[in-house]
Amino acid sequence: MKKVAKYWFIFQTTLVNSLAYPGELIGRSLMIIPFMWIFFQLWKVTFDASGSDVINGLTLRDTLWYLMMAETIELGRPQLARTISENIKDGSIAYLLNKPYDFMLYQLSNAMGETIFRAFFNAIFGGVTVWFLVGAPAHPEGFIIALPAILGAWVLHFCVNAMIGLLAFGLEDVSAFTWIYQKLAFIFGGLLVPLDFYPQWLQVISKAMPFASTVYGPSRLFVSPTLELFVNVMLLQIIWIVILGFCLTLMYRRGLTQLTVNGG
Amino acid sequence: MPSIEVNQLQKTFQSKRKAAGLAGSMRALFRPEYNSIEAVRRLSFQMEAGELLGFIGPNGAGKSTTIKMLTGILHPTAGDAKVLGFVPWKDRQKLAYHIGTVFGQRPQLWYHLPAVDTFLLFGKIFEMDDRETKKRIAFLSEAFEIQDLLETPVRKLSLGQRMRCEVAASLLHRPKLILLDEPSIGLDVVAKQHIRDAIKTMAQEENVGVLLTSHDAGDLEALCRRVIIINHGQIVYEDKVSNLKRKFLTRKLVEVRYAEEVPVDFSLEGVEILKVGHYGVKLRFDTTKTPVDAVMSHLSEAGELVDITVADPPLEEVIAKIYEQARRAETQA
C-alpha cells in the first residue's frame, strides 16, 4: 500500500507545486481563447462554402467543441521530454535517481500533477469561448464519458515523451525530436483538422497510428459519446499504452547504463 | 562489516572531440572522434560502519563520479563496489532506503514549496508512517535549528539556511550512511560552521557513517577522522587526519612582540625571517630541521617577550603539497 501511496503523494505535491505561480498558469491558459476564435472563423467559412450543415458527420458546433478538447489535451500536457532533458543537462537527475521509487512512475505521477490545473484552466477558458461562439455542446455528458480516454491520452503522451526524454541520456538535447513529435501529432493526431475530414486513405493511416489515440480519440468521443466509440477508443489506447510502455521500459533500462551526469 | 567496500573501481567517459571552427564542426558531424576520460582509475578503499571519512581532491579529481557510482546512479566501466552489502548499480532502489545524499551544488528540496512539504514527500517516498515522519521532522528541525524556516518557500531561503534544510532532509529516513558531496560549497564561514556542527552531532548521536567529499580542508578538519585524497581518479594519500597533520604540519609560523626594540641583526640558522618590525618579528621554520626549543630560547634571549603566537600553515597548503608530490611522482614515472 505504501508503495502505491508514494506515487499518489508525488502527484499531490506536483499538483500543489503547479499552483506556485497562479498568474502565469492562468495567463498561459488564456491563449486558448484566440486559438478558438481563429478556428471558429476558419471552420465557419469552410462550412458556409460547403453549403451543408454537416461534413462527414460533424456540425460546426461539434467541430469547435472537438477542437476545444483537442487543444485542452495538447496545451495541458506537460513538457516531459524537455524536463528529463533539463534534468540530465543540469545534473539534477542524480537526485531523482537515488530515491526508492520507480523513476518512470515518479515521472508519470509528476507529469499528471502538472497537467491537471493546466488542462482545467484551458478547458474553462476554451469551453466558455466555444459556448459563446457556437452554443452548448450537443452531448454535455460526453465530457464524463471521454474522461478515461483523456487520462489515457496523457498516459500515452507520457510514454512517447518519456522515450524522447530518455534519448537525452545519450544526446542531452532532444528539442528537435519534441518538435517532430509535436508536428506529427498536429497532422496525424487531428489537432488542427478532425481526422474525419481527411481523405479515406489518410484517415486509415492516421487512425492506425498512436497519435490518433492521444488527440483524436478522446476529442471525438467527447462530441459523439457512444458506447461503440468508447470501446474502440479505449481498446486502441490500451494497446498503444502496452506497446509503448514496453518500449519505454526497455529504453529506460538501456539508458541507465549509458547515463553520464554533468557537473562531476 | 564495512559500510563501503570499493575494489578496483573504474569509470571512463567518452567525450566528443571537435576541432575549432566550422570545418571542425562539420568533420565532427560526419566523422566523430572521441577522447576517453578516465574519471576514476582502479580505486580501492574501505569505510567502516559509523566512520567519518573525508574524500577530498581538486576539481575533476573523480570525487563526485565515485559518489555517483556508490549511490548507483552511474554504472562503472570496471571493478566492484558494495555499499551496506548492496551492489549500488544493481540494487539502487533497495540501497536508497538506507543512504542519504546531499549534492551541494544541486538542490533536492522543491524550489517553490516550503521545505516541510519536501520533508513530508520524502517521508512518503521512504515509506515512513505519518506520525514517525512528523516526529522526525520535529527532531531534525531542532538539531539543525530550522524550526522557523520550514514553512518558508525554499526559494526565499539563504544558501546557508537551505543547506541546513537539505542535510536535514537527507537524514529524515534514518539512513545508516550519508554521502555528502560538497555540502559547504558557497557558504560563508558562519554557515559552514553551523552545517559542520550539526552533521557532527547527528553522526555521533545516530552512529551514521559520513562520506564527505569536499575541496575545503576546513570540512575535513572539523568532521573527519580519516582522509582519502584523490587526484586524477587515483588515491594519492590515505591516513588518519591527525597523522596527516603530524606528518605534514611540520612548518610553524611564529610571531613575537617584545617590550623593547629588537636587535636589527636578529637571525638564526634554519629560520626564515618573514618580517622584522621595531618591536616584533615574524618567522617560519621547519620543526624537523630546527628544534622548537632552540628557536624559543633564541627568541626569549633576544629581549623581554610580551606576546607570542605559533600557528600551523593552513591545511589547504598541506594538501596542495601532497598533490604536488603526486604530480611529480607521476611525471617521473
CB-based contact A6 B124, cutoff 8 Å: yes
CA distance B309 to B227: 28
What SS3 class is residue B279?
A: coil
CB-based contact A13 B13, cutoff 8 Å: no
pLDDT for B47 beyond 60: yes
Q: Which residues of chain A have pLDDT under 70?
A: 260-264
CB-based contact B73 A17, cutoff 8 Å: no
Of B73, B103, B110, nearest to A13 by CB-CB distance is B110
Length of chain B: 333
> Which alpha helices (DSSP H) does chain B contain, by range?
21-30, 63-70, 92-96, 115-125, 130-143, 159-170, 189-206, 217-223, 241-248, 292-301, 315-332
Q: Which residues of B touch A101 (CB under 8 A)?
A: 93, 125
CB-based contact B112 A20, cutoff 8 Å: yes
Section B233-251 average pLDDT: 82
Q: B26 falls in which pLDDT band (50, 70, 90)?
A: confident
User: pLDDT tens digits, residue range B160-179?
Assistant: 889 889 989 999 999 999 99
pLDDT for B83 beyond 50: yes
Distance of CA B257 to the CA centre of its chain: 36
User: pLDDT tens digits, residue range B252-292?
Assistant: 888 889 888 876 566 777 788 888 888 888 888 888 888 88
CB-based contact B65 A264, cutoff 8 Å: yes
CA distance B248 to B262: 31
> Which alpha helices (DSSP H) does A101-226 contain, by range?
103-134, 142-171, 175-188, 200-208, 210-214, 216-223
CB-based contact A16 B117, cutoff 8 Å: yes
What integer pLDDT is reported at residue A264 of this predicted model? 47
Does the beta carbon of A1 lie under 8 angstroms from any beta carbon of chain B?
A: no
User: Residue B203, by phi and psi: left (phi above 0), alpha (psi -120 to 50) or beta?
Assistant: alpha
Task: Provide the terminal-to-terminal Cα distance of chain A, rounded to the nearest Å.
Answer: 37
Which residues on neighbouring strands pair with residue A129, listed in sequence order? none
CA distance A110 to A101: 13
What SS3 class is residue B303?
A: coil
Q: Cα dihedral angle (B136, B142, B145, B147), rounded to 10 degrees?
A: 70
DSSP state of A174: -
Mutation target vs A (from B90, B106, B110; most A CBs, 10 A cutoff) = B106
Q: Which residues of A touch B71 (CB under 8 A)?
A: 94, 98
The alpha-carbon gap from A264 to the nearest alpha carbon of chain B, in Å, equals 5
CA nearest to B215, candidates B248, B193, B187, B184: B184
Q: Which residues of A touch B122 (CB under 8 A)?
A: 99
What integer pLDDT is reported at residue B265 of this predicted model? 63
CA distance A168 to A93: 11
Higher pLDDT: A124 or B144? It is A124
Of A16, A260, A264, nearest to B60 by CB-CB distance is A264
Residue of B nearest to A93 (CA): B73
The alpha-carbon gap from A237 to the nearest alpha carbon of chain B, in Å, equals 30
DSSP letter string, B168-204: HHHTTT--SEEEEESTTTT--HHHHHHHHHHHHHHHH
CA–CA distances in Å: residue B91 to residues A257, B46, B73, B95, B101: 14, 19, 11, 6, 16
CB B235 within 8 A of CB B242: no
CB-based contact A98 B126, cutoff 8 Å: no
CB A239 within 8 A of CB A246: no
Q: Among the ranges A24-33, B27-36, B210-219, which has the highest mean pLDDT value?
A: A24-33
pLDDT for B15 beyond 60: yes
User: pLDDT tens digits, residue range B51-82?
Assistant: 999 988 877 788 888 988 999 888 899 999 99
Q: Which residues of B touch A95 (CB under 8 A)?
A: 101, 103, 106, 108
Higher pLDDT: B167 or B15? It is B167
Q: Which residues contact B284 (CB under 8 A, 6 or more apart)?
A: B251, B252, B253, B254, B271, B272, B274
CA distance B181 to B197: 17
CB B213 within 8 A of CB B64: yes
What integer pLDDT is reported at residue B281 of this predicted model? 87
What's the whole-number average pLDDT of chain B? 85
pLDDT for B31 beyond 90: no
CA nearest to B244, candidates B113, B56, B26, B50: B56
CB-based contact B124 A3, cutoff 8 Å: no
Higher pLDDT: A164 or B23? It is A164
What integer pLDDT is reported at residue B266 of this predicted model? 63
Of A6, A10, A263, nearest to B127 by CB-CB distance is A6
CB-based contact B121 A102, cutoff 8 Å: no
Residue with cell 513538457: A79
Mutation target vs B (from A13, A98, A109, A260; most B CBs, 10 A cutoff) = A98
Choice among A217-221, A237-241, B187-191, B246-250 with the minimum mean pLDDT: B246-250
CB B71 within 8 A of CB B178: no
